[in-house]
Amino acid sequence: MCIFFVWGFLALFLSLATFSFALDNGLMRTPPMGWLAWERFRCDIDCKNDPKNCISENLFRDMADRLAEDGWKELGYVYINIDDCWSSMERDSQGRLQADPTRFPGGIPKLARYIHDRGLKLGIYGDLGTHTCGGYPGTTLDKIKVDAETFAEWGVDMLKLDGCYSNATEQEKGYPLMSAALNATGRPIGYSCSWPAYQGGLPPNVNYSLLGDICNLWRNYGDIEDSWASVLGIVDWFMTHQDILQPAAGPGKWNDPDMLVIGNFGLSVEQSRSQMALWAIMAAPLFMSTDLRTLSSEARAILQNKAVIGINQDPMGVQGGRLLKESSGIEVFWRPLSDSASTLVFFSRRTDMPYRYTTSLGKLNYTAGVYKVYDVFLQKTMPMLKDSTEFTVSVNPSGVVMWYLIPKAGVWEEGARYPDPRHRSRVTL
């Protein structure tokens, strides 16, 4: 949240060269999935007048219940993530962070137990600066060790560390120091860094090789908003720089284009499918930020689509990208997957009417052969395709057609459930 860009060359780790900060937690070998409060609920702390939506333990308990009871957990959505505005305005007498006593009367440890009892994980928010973006106590360099130890004692499973009210030098020191401090607690805590977003997201200010040794995931770009223009802006930035970003991603280290806003107010059903498909192409973390208590059936079907989830969670962990950008307004995206499989997304930027796009697999750089095809959103097997055979897809305005493909000789077992996250390389025939 509250990303502010700080430009200028960053000489990474020069003052910390004698230390090892490699993140050694074994976590997030596939992109993490769950629910995050910020985009939908922001910094609503008015529990007197808005008790159901304010940032309080009740909100996070409600969302944990929904993940546990409505089929989300089984699909991999296991993190319940607190964002800004959860803490008291003052640290306690020992200098430790503390939850707001009115909105979190049981404190974070009690909330963590509630979430863990439901088979879920708790994420929390901090900021590497004097204050969080919302004005709450930050984690200055001298507080990194005590805050990491506090989070571990509370039973926290993930930390998102923002960068408001800090400068480039403090970020250069602080993000690696927090990585080392989290490791030193002995508790596996996934680590989300906002560092690259504050440095413009690109080399030479950002060293992605070093980021992969420090963080499990990182925000590269500005905050998502509940609008189609925001989603498109993020996609454009990631695809413009895909040659830089793709090599940085892999098991345990992910580029993060920010939250899924599916189920809120700004996207149509077609646009919601597009965000889900493009986030799967990008091997992006899937953190929903919507009210799961009032979610529509259309939004639920998109967010719980097993095929999209299976593609996103492919264990090979290769980030995909854009192959073609046609003058017609159609764009083609591709991602390689395990077991010689792949996924194609045909995406329309048009705003007028469905567009019939004709191509062949050969034109999309597929090797010679016959391919089995599964339409992810129609949830049905399509006719097999030879690489040289032309085909036509009809793509709705701001919508997608998403295919899972595998060579005819590849693994595609009759009756197997694809893509149940336990069997991510299988497709139901």
Q: Which residues are catalytic?
A: 162, 223
d(CA 321, CA 239): 6
d(CA 311, CA 335): 9
Strands 400-407 and 342-348: antiparallel
230, containing H or E segment: helix 228-240
Output the 3-class SS for 379-423.
CEEEEEEECCCEEEEEECCCCEEEEEEEECCCCCCCCCCCCCHHH
d(CA 165, CA 147): 17
Tell me how many helices (H) and strands (E) the chain has. Answer: 13, 16
What is the DSSP-derived secondary structure letter of residue 266?
S
Q: Are 129 and 166 in contact (CB under 8 A)?
A: yes
Q: Are 30 and 314 in contact (CB under 8 A)?
A: yes
Q: Which amino acid is at 98?
A: Q
109, containing H or E segment: helix 107-117
d(CA 324, CA 239): 11
d(CA 218, CA 211): 8
d(CA 376, CA 374): 6
> Three-state SS for 90?
coil
